[in-house]
Structure 1
């Protein structure tokens, strides 16, 4: 009797213990529930361990799981949103590896000549804008390229037209039209008069005021000579209020974001911003007003950066929407405007080897500052001499750091290389931050500038760099080119111009998989962001794009017709095709 009573008395305690154990075990076993699951996809993950999948589960801004439909459906809860991908191709969001974000925005506001086929078209566009412009108002444009017109003006110097027709249609408005490369500008007589340009005005070091045989300035200002006109334009901008300048800037940023999202770009590496722009980006990120993730380089002289770098780097501000982790400098200009610095003279401009646009001692000082502040050094170099000088500077500075090869310094563009310098990228751990679309865009004039031998062995040498073990990234240099990744992808795998069919040394082509990698994981690696971006894996940011064609399998001729159907950033759909 005693034992039975005792047993009965213990029963509630046993039951309670069993109940607690059951609840605890149930809680441990309870599945995670996704906010959104995407089913029935043709998913290319860029993850070597799990290269293809059918479905993705997203929780918050991150990927909860990637796998089969059956596996992902297990993560569905009563509130989970289900999206049917309808067997469309899905890949990580494109990362623009080198562009100019605010410059892209301004190109969408001002006159844009990227698709102009003649000087007459440009003059007509300025004439139309002048009809509505107030007297004295500046007319700004960008995108012209004399080597890409269908015909050369009768009166020209090195293919550049004279300013006369432009000046005639805009007598009351100063006009500045930047070259597609950004390394030259065209000014009308009003702008040149305001800048005080005369027959006696000298060309500055690192630049040239283009003149005819009689010494007349035709209106073109190359490289550092652009400052002659730019200074007057900056004085005009200084008359505007800070509020007006910021309002105009914000308008461009909003347009740039929409343009990127519509083209499948989820992250953008901004190749050079001033301190005030960085502060404005920071405000936007922390207020949750960025829809595209930005990674920016600081762009100032060493003097201007003195005492200013201690507050950097900024990493993943605004929940991974804004990072500042690099410094931008440059060694030379662009090939199209005879600014690329070469080891031997231009084929079509005898005894001229291009422009060293930033003094080498200044670039060395910026390299020292980057290493001291633990920021990535990113240097613009186009010509073979510029790339060699840049590699020499980096090699000397990286030797001072025991982790030099791990600093991931970058040469922006790395377009024209001496073959002897190609292995140095791997040896030094220097990233070749390239833009494949420049190859096919420039193809009609590269041989004319460099000659057959140099063009074949070292121009846009992606295959050679990859085979030598270098990291090669991809992008567009927007607004130098359209920010659309698909023409750059097409150039990567075909080396063919879409309009004429011209193929530029096809032995340098790369595979579809390599091209996708260059636009995803390679760019993520080049910004120390590979743990968060570049592939579709559990735990990474849910940034991906849905396309109408399978870029790994479609025919070459179908690539350029590919449509962006959906762009997802942080698990949220930021663009949907109509």
Structure 2
């Protein structure tokens, strides 16, 4: 007689089980927004968390009943969003920039030179003067800067300053001498040495030529690297980033990330892309793809390759010459068969492939190389990506869907480049440039990022650019090619659910659905109620990762 009595009791327990789930945190009285798995916007008043994962979102009345014994955080009506994910950000680059010369705010060559002089004087013990962020377009210089100009302010030691896009570097004469560079030095494959009228290196090295200088620079010490990582993590937390896809890590950086994961020191989830398919890949991939290490704080299941350079330094590979430089079509880094071989090597070991391609010729080469690699190795279901997909021939855009490729794009690139993009490529080619709406319309997943430190890591700048296609002053009126703008929901999806999907993480990250990690932020305004012009001004008040607060704005406790 015991069996029939126990069965109804067990059934009754199962029926009430959802109401009896444990919880250790209730974030209450919030103006909550999240997407569901279909990308639809959902509202809620409270968030229930247990052991770092979402139990439920819902009304204050319902979830308060289920929060017996849980710690209660009063949101005081503030807006709560899922943690934002940057699908393309250079973590260590952001960190090292904190200790180097930052030229991003300089508006003239003279300002940059003055900043370099001041920085060098403040760091007399540094063997090299290093920095980044210069932009000859902003300076309205009409040319690249020269070593002679840099010598005038830093002549006592080598100096190396990367362009804002990271695809060109400016050296002084001491750096060139140390590297053994003279008139007889040839341009390397995929690179260009800028020269004066007599053929002498003038001081700027584009793309593959940068290695001629950088290989002579001292490697950062372990302490310097850890300090840079700490600085990057702090900056990311302060702007609401709870995850980042980091393109192009080496073995030393991977070891640092893994140590931080082991020591529970990561405050953002890092999806690491291994730099190339050479020695770093061979070393890191020995055990196969690393997936969800340390409670999903670290993954290394993808590879980053390069096809070309950047538009601003005219290194992006174009099908036809640049409109403002008729003798230049940019730089391809590899021959098609070489690129296909590297793709095949990574796919063959089960690694997703993510390829930097900015120019329309580079994008076509990448599309062709993926097609060839799929025929030889398969791997078309690994969610392979083109990073930037910045200028694509209109006839090539549909190939993204046929090849099952993700477009990993950076909205702020459009608003930063609009001062020179049409000068570079002309009116016709711009139709396939920064074409977010065109990609979305055909069903391509668009993962949102920034490419920091090329751009600010602040994802609200990216959301603003995606929605308005304007700079922070509201220019141009109506937006630059506004037909390619996104809605706010679409933009949020690019920086949450679709960024997670691009990293094979949509089942654990990207929304605040039950069972996913409780990565969320509290901000100072209702993003869906303010005017679009105010989106970029959003302040992050608190950042939480896995149900733990990792950042609080001054004054929020």
> Same fold judged by TM-score > 0.5?
yes
* Alignment partner, residue 4 of structure 1: none
**Counterpart Cα distance in 2 of 1:33 and 1:136:** 55
SS of 2:301 mapped into structure 1: strand
How far the C-alpha of 1:212 sits from its partner, in A, is 2.1
State the alpha-carbon separation in 1 of the partners of residues 474 and 511 from structure 2. Answer: 35
Residues 172 and 561 (structure 1 numbering): CA distance in 2 closer, same or farther, change over 3 Å? same
TM-superposed deviation, 1:26: 7.6
Measure, in 2, the Cα distance between the counterparts of 1:487 and 1:452.
26
Q: Which residue of 1 aligns with 2:35?
A: 46
Deviating more after overlay: 358-367 vs 119-128: 358-367
* Correspondence list, 1:409-558, <5 A: 409-455=384-430, 457-499=431-473, 501-502=475-476, 503-558=479-534
- Deviation of 1:28 after TM superposition, in Å, equals 8.6
Q: 1:98 aligns with which of 83, 88, 112?
A: 88
1:389 alignment partner in structure 2: 365
Shift in Å, 1:540: 0.5
CA distance in 2, matches of 1:254, 1:304: 23
Q: Which residue of 2 aligns with 1:34?
A: 23
Contact 2:250 2:275 (C-alpha < 8 Å) held by counterparts: yes
Asked if the contact 2:251–2:283 (Cα under 8 Å) also holds between the matched residues in 1, the reply is no
DSSP 3-state at the match of 1:147 = coil
Greater radius of gyration (CA): 1
Secondary structure of 2:317's aligned partner: coil
Aligned to 1:204: 188
Give the stretch that moved more between structures: 506-515 or 224-233: 224-233
- CA contact under 8 A between 2:28 and 2:45: conserved in structure 1? yes
Could you tell me how far 1:18 is from its partner in structure 2? 10
2:351 corresponds to which residue? 375
Structure 2 partner of 1:187? 171
Which stretch shifts more, 386-395 or 224-233? Answer: 224-233
Structure 2: distance between partners of 1:85 and 1:540: 20
1:53–1:66 CA contact under 8 A, matched in 2: yes
CA distance in 1, matches of 2:125, 2:404: 53
> The residue matched to 2:68 in structure 1 has which SS?
coil
* Per-residue Cα deviation, 1:488-538 (whole angstroms, up to 9, x for no partner): 111101111224613321111111110000000001000110000011111
- The root-mean-square deviation of aligned C-alpha atoms, in Å, is 2.3
Q: Which residue of 2 aligns with 1:3?
A: none
Task: Confirm or deny: 8 A CA contact 1:342 1:386 kept in the other structure.
Answer: yes
Measured in 1, the distance between the counterparts of 2:391 and 2:458 equals: 23
The 2-side partners of 1:459 and 1:378 are apart by 19
1:137 corresponds in structure 2 to 127
- 1:326 is aligned to 2:326: no
**CA shift at 1:75, angstroms?**
1.3
Task: Report if aligned partners of 1:41, 1:85 keep a CA contact under 8 Å in 2.
Answer: yes
**For each residue in 1:186-217, what CA deviation from the matched residue of structure 2 results, as whole angstroms up to 9, or x when unmatched?**
00111111112222222222211111223232
Aligned match of 2:63: 72
Contact 1:331 1:360 in 2 (8 A): no
* Structure 1 gap ranges (5+): 1-13, 153-157, 238-243
Which of structure 1's runs of 4+ aligned residues deviate more than 6 A? 21-28
1:114 is displaced (CA, Å) by: 1.7
Could you tell me how far apart the structure 1 residues matched to 2:53 and 2:137 are?
46
How many Å apart are 1:43 and its aligned residue?
1.3
What secondary structure sits across from 1:420 in the alignment? coil
- Please report how far the alpha carbon of residue 327 of structure 1 lies from its aligned counterpart in structure 2 after TM superposition: 0.7
Give the TM-score of the pair, scaled to structure 2: 0.93
| 1:92 positional shift | 0.9
Q: What is the CA–CA distance in structure 1 between the aligned matches of 2:207 and 2:398, rounded to whole Å?
A: 30
| Residues 96, 519 of structure 1: 8 Å contact kept | yes
Correspondence 1:203-242 to 2 at 5 A: 203-233=187-217, 236-237=218-219
SS of structure 1 residue aligned to 2:244 = strand
Correspondent of 2:257 among 275, 281, 300: 281
SS at match of 1:106: helix
Tell me how many residue pairs correspond in the alignment. 547
Deviation at 1:24, TM superposition (A): 11
